[in-house]
Protein backbone atom coordinates (compact mmCIF):
# COMPACT_ATOMS: atom_id res chain seq x y z
CA UNK A 1 0.00 0.00 0.00
CA UNK A 2 1.35 3.42 -1.01
CA UNK A 3 0.19 6.83 0.15
CA UNK A 4 0.06 9.85 -2.17
CA UNK A 5 -0.72 13.49 -1.34
CA UNK A 6 -2.06 16.07 -3.79
CA UNK A 7 -1.65 19.73 -2.87
CA UNK A 8 -2.73 22.74 -4.94
CA UNK A 9 -0.81 25.98 -4.47
CA UNK A 10 -0.58 29.25 -6.35
CA UNK A 11 3.12 29.34 -7.18
CA UNK A 12 5.14 26.11 -7.27
CA UNK A 13 8.43 28.00 -7.33
CA UNK A 14 7.58 30.29 -4.42
CA UNK A 15 5.74 28.22 -1.85
CA UNK A 16 5.05 29.57 1.61
CA UNK A 17 7.01 28.36 4.65
CA UNK A 18 3.83 26.58 5.79
CA UNK A 19 3.53 24.68 2.52
CA UNK A 20 7.23 23.87 2.54
CA UNK A 21 6.93 22.49 6.08
CA UNK A 22 3.88 20.44 5.06
CA UNK A 23 5.71 18.92 2.08
CA UNK A 24 8.73 18.09 4.23
CA UNK A 25 6.52 16.39 6.80
CA UNK A 26 4.74 14.28 4.18
CA UNK A 27 8.06 13.29 2.62
CA UNK A 28 9.30 12.25 6.06
CA UNK A 29 6.25 9.97 6.20
CA UNK A 30 7.39 8.40 2.89
CA UNK A 31 4.33 9.84 1.18
CA UNK A 32 4.58 10.75 -2.48
CA UNK A 33 3.77 14.47 -2.84
CA UNK A 34 2.29 16.05 -5.96
CA UNK A 35 2.19 19.85 -5.93
CA UNK A 36 -0.01 21.50 -8.53
CA UNK A 37 0.09 25.22 -9.31
CA UNK A 38 -1.82 27.62 -11.52
CA UNK A 39 -4.75 25.21 -11.78
CA UNK A 40 -7.91 26.57 -13.39
CA UNK A 41 -10.12 24.30 -11.30
CA UNK A 42 -9.61 22.31 -8.14
CA UNK A 43 -11.80 19.58 -9.58
CA UNK A 44 -9.66 19.37 -12.72
CA UNK A 45 -6.48 19.47 -10.65
CA UNK A 46 -7.54 16.62 -8.37
CA UNK A 47 -8.93 14.58 -11.25
CA UNK A 48 -5.81 15.10 -13.35
CA UNK A 49 -3.42 14.30 -10.52
CA UNK A 50 -5.35 11.15 -9.69
CA UNK A 51 -5.08 9.93 -13.27
CA UNK A 52 -1.38 10.78 -13.43
CA UNK A 53 -0.61 8.98 -10.17
CA UNK A 54 -2.69 5.98 -11.27
CA UNK A 55 -2.69 4.48 -7.77
CA UNK A 56 -3.40 0.85 -6.97
CA UNK A 57 -6.88 0.00 -5.60
CA UNK A 58 -5.67 -0.12 -1.98
CA UNK A 59 -3.43 2.96 -2.22
CA UNK A 60 -4.39 5.98 -0.12
CA UNK A 61 -4.73 9.43 -1.70
CA UNK A 62 -4.67 12.60 0.38
CA UNK A 63 -6.22 15.84 -0.86
CA UNK A 64 -5.29 18.72 1.42
CA UNK A 65 -4.93 22.48 1.58
CA UNK A 66 -1.50 24.04 1.23
CA UNK A 67 -1.90 26.12 4.41
CA UNK A 68 -2.05 23.37 7.00
CA UNK A 69 0.48 22.03 9.47
CA UNK A 70 0.15 18.39 10.51
CA UNK A 71 1.22 18.08 14.11
CA UNK A 72 1.71 14.37 14.37
CA UNK A 73 4.58 11.99 14.78
CA UNK A 74 5.16 10.70 11.21
CA UNK A 75 4.78 7.03 12.18
CA UNK A 76 1.63 7.75 14.19
CA UNK A 77 0.19 9.80 11.34
CA UNK A 78 0.63 7.01 8.81
CA UNK A 79 -0.73 4.46 11.30
CA UNK A 80 -3.84 6.61 11.89
CA UNK A 81 -4.52 6.86 8.16
CA UNK A 82 -4.09 3.13 7.58
CA UNK A 83 -6.22 2.21 10.58
CA UNK A 84 -8.94 4.69 9.66
CA UNK A 85 -9.14 3.32 6.11
CA UNK A 86 -8.60 -0.33 6.99
CA UNK A 87 -12.22 -1.39 6.56
CA UNK A 88 -13.65 -1.77 3.08
CA UNK A 89 -16.82 0.16 3.91
CA UNK A 90 -14.92 3.36 4.83
CA UNK A 91 -15.05 6.16 2.27
CA UNK A 92 -13.16 9.27 3.36
CA UNK A 93 -11.39 10.09 6.59
CA UNK A 94 -10.59 13.61 7.72
CA UNK A 95 -10.14 16.03 10.59
CA UNK A 96 -13.63 17.53 10.92
CA UNK A 97 -17.17 16.99 9.69
CA UNK A 98 -20.80 16.48 10.65
CA UNK A 99 -23.31 13.70 11.17
CA UNK A 100 -26.06 15.81 9.62
CA UNK A 101 -25.96 18.11 6.60
CA UNK A 102 -29.08 20.24 6.69
CA UNK A 103 -31.07 22.14 4.09
CA UNK A 104 -28.55 25.00 4.14
CA UNK A 105 -25.69 22.58 3.22
CA UNK A 106 -23.37 24.31 5.72
CA UNK A 107 -21.60 21.54 7.59
CA UNK A 108 -20.47 23.71 10.55
CA UNK A 109 -24.02 24.97 11.20
CA UNK A 110 -24.11 26.40 14.72
CA UNK A 111 -27.42 24.83 15.77
CA UNK A 112 -26.30 21.31 14.87
CA UNK A 113 -23.03 22.04 16.61
CA UNK A 114 -24.94 22.81 19.80
CA UNK A 115 -26.84 19.55 19.46
CA UNK A 116 -23.60 17.56 19.22
CA UNK A 117 -23.82 16.66 15.53
CA UNK A 118 -20.27 17.70 14.60
CA UNK A 119 -17.06 15.73 14.93
CA UNK A 120 -13.35 16.52 15.14
CA UNK A 121 -11.13 19.44 16.01
CA UNK A 122 -8.90 21.90 14.16
CA UNK A 123 -6.27 24.29 15.47
CA UNK A 124 -6.81 27.85 14.23
CA UNK A 125 -5.13 31.23 14.68
CA UNK A 126 -6.88 34.32 16.01
CA UNK A 127 -6.24 37.75 14.42
CA UNK A 128 -3.21 38.22 16.69
CA UNK A 129 -1.67 34.92 15.62
CA UNK A 130 -2.46 33.13 18.86
CA UNK A 131 -3.47 29.50 18.51
CA UNK A 132 -6.76 28.10 19.73
CA UNK A 133 -8.51 24.76 19.23
CA UNK A 134 -11.92 24.63 17.58
CA UNK A 135 -13.49 21.53 19.11
CA UNK A 136 -16.42 20.30 17.06
CA UNK A 137 -16.93 17.00 18.85
CA UNK A 138 -15.41 13.56 19.39
CA UNK A 139 -14.12 11.51 16.42
CA UNK A 140 -16.65 9.27 14.72
CA UNK A 141 -18.82 8.59 11.69
CA UNK A 142 -20.02 11.56 9.62
CA UNK A 143 -21.84 12.23 6.36
CA UNK A 144 -19.49 14.95 5.06
CA UNK A 145 -15.99 16.20 5.86
CA UNK A 146 -14.21 19.53 5.62
CA UNK A 147 -11.78 19.79 2.71
CA UNK A 148 -8.75 21.02 4.64
CA UNK A 149 -7.72 17.35 4.81
CA UNK A 150 -9.33 14.38 3.06
CA UNK A 151 -8.00 10.88 2.50
CA UNK A 152 -9.50 7.88 0.72
CA UNK A 153 -8.49 4.75 -1.16
CA UNK A 154 -8.46 4.60 -4.93
CA UNK A 155 -11.44 2.27 -5.10
CA UNK A 156 -13.59 4.88 -3.34
CA UNK A 157 -12.47 7.67 -5.67
CA UNK A 158 -13.18 5.45 -8.69
CA UNK A 159 -16.68 4.89 -7.34
CA UNK A 160 -17.60 8.54 -6.78
CA UNK A 161 -15.62 10.19 -9.61
CA UNK A 162 -13.60 13.40 -9.14
CA UNK A 163 -14.95 15.43 -12.05
CA UNK A 164 -16.85 18.64 -11.38
CA UNK A 165 -20.65 18.27 -11.48
CA UNK A 166 -22.18 20.05 -14.46
CA UNK A 167 -24.43 22.09 -12.17
CA UNK A 168 -21.47 23.69 -10.34
CA UNK A 169 -20.56 27.10 -11.72
CA UNK A 170 -17.54 27.79 -9.51
CA UNK A 171 -14.27 25.98 -10.12
CA UNK A 172 -12.90 25.86 -6.57
CA UNK A 173 -15.69 25.51 -4.05
CA UNK A 174 -17.83 22.83 -2.41
CA UNK A 175 -15.72 19.98 -3.76
CA UNK A 176 -15.36 18.54 -0.25
CA UNK A 177 -19.09 18.43 0.43
CA UNK A 178 -19.74 16.96 -3.01
CA UNK A 179 -17.06 14.27 -2.81
CA UNK A 180 -17.80 13.13 0.73
CA UNK A 181 -21.57 13.25 0.42
CA UNK A 182 -21.35 11.16 -2.75
CA UNK A 183 -19.31 8.57 -0.88
CA UNK A 184 -21.87 8.49 1.92
CA UNK A 185 -24.83 8.25 -0.48
CA UNK A 186 -23.12 5.39 -2.30
CA UNK A 187 -22.98 3.40 0.92
CA UNK A 188 -19.54 4.24 2.27
CA UNK A 189 -18.92 5.36 5.86
CA UNK A 190 -17.00 8.61 6.23
CA UNK A 191 -15.04 9.11 9.44
CA UNK A 192 -13.44 11.87 11.45
CA UNK A 193 -10.26 10.46 12.95
CA UNK A 194 -8.07 11.91 15.68
CA UNK A 195 -5.76 14.24 13.76
CA UNK A 196 -3.93 17.29 15.07
CA UNK A 197 -3.90 19.85 12.27
CA UNK A 198 -3.30 23.60 12.30
CA UNK A 199 -5.24 25.43 9.59
CA UNK A 200 -3.95 28.89 8.69
CA UNK A 201 -7.32 29.93 7.28
CA UNK A 202 -10.27 31.37 9.17
CA UNK A 203 -12.84 30.56 6.46
CA UNK A 204 -12.50 33.62 4.24
CA UNK A 205 -13.51 31.59 1.17
CA UNK A 206 -17.09 31.53 2.46
CA UNK A 207 -17.31 35.12 1.25
CA UNK A 208 -16.61 34.17 -2.34
CA UNK A 209 -19.48 34.38 -4.80
CA UNK A 210 -18.52 31.01 -6.28
CA UNK A 211 -18.88 29.36 -2.85
CA UNK A 212 -22.44 30.63 -2.54
CA UNK A 213 -23.31 29.73 -6.13
CA UNK A 214 -21.98 26.18 -5.77
CA UNK A 215 -23.75 25.81 -2.43
CA UNK A 216 -27.05 26.88 -3.99
CA UNK A 217 -26.49 24.48 -6.91
CA UNK A 218 -25.69 21.65 -4.49
CA UNK A 219 -28.88 22.33 -2.54
CA UNK A 220 -30.95 22.39 -5.73
CA UNK A 221 -29.54 19.05 -6.88
CA UNK A 222 -29.39 17.13 -3.59
CA UNK A 223 -32.05 15.57 -1.41
CA UNK A 224 -31.34 17.21 1.93
CA UNK A 225 -30.93 16.68 4.80
CA UNK A 226 -28.32 13.94 4.66
CA UNK A 227 -27.86 12.38 8.06
CA UNK A 228 -26.74 9.40 10.05
CA UNK A 229 -29.72 7.76 11.69
CA UNK A 230 -29.09 7.32 15.39
Tell me whether strands 60-64 and 3-9 are parallel, antiparallel or unpaired. Answer: parallel
Predicted local confidence at residue 210, as pLDDT: 85
| Torsions phi, psi for 68 (to 5 deg) | -115, 155
Fold of domain 3-227: Spore Coat Polysaccharide Biosynthesis Protein SpsA; Chain A (3.90.550)
- pTM score, two decimals? 0.94
**Helix residue ranges, H only, the chain:** 17-28, 42-53, 74-84, 110-114, 154-160, 175-185, 209-220
Predicted local confidence at residue 4, as pLDDT: 98
- With contact defined as beta carbons under 8 Å apart, do 192 and 119 qualify? yes
- Reply yes or no on whether the pLDDT at 188 is more than 80: yes
Percent of the chain with pLDDT over 70: 95
Predicted local confidence at residue 223, as pLDDT: 96
Every domain of the chain and the residues it spans = 3-227
- Reply yes or no on whether the pLDDT at 201 is more than 90: no
Amino acid sequence: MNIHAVICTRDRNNVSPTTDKLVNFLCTCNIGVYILSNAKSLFLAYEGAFKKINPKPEDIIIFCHDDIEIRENPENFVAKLKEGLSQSEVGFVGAAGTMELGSDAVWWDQTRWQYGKHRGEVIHLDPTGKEYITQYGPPGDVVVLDGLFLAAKRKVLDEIGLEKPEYFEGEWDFYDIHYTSQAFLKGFTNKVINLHILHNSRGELVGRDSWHKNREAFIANTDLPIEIKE
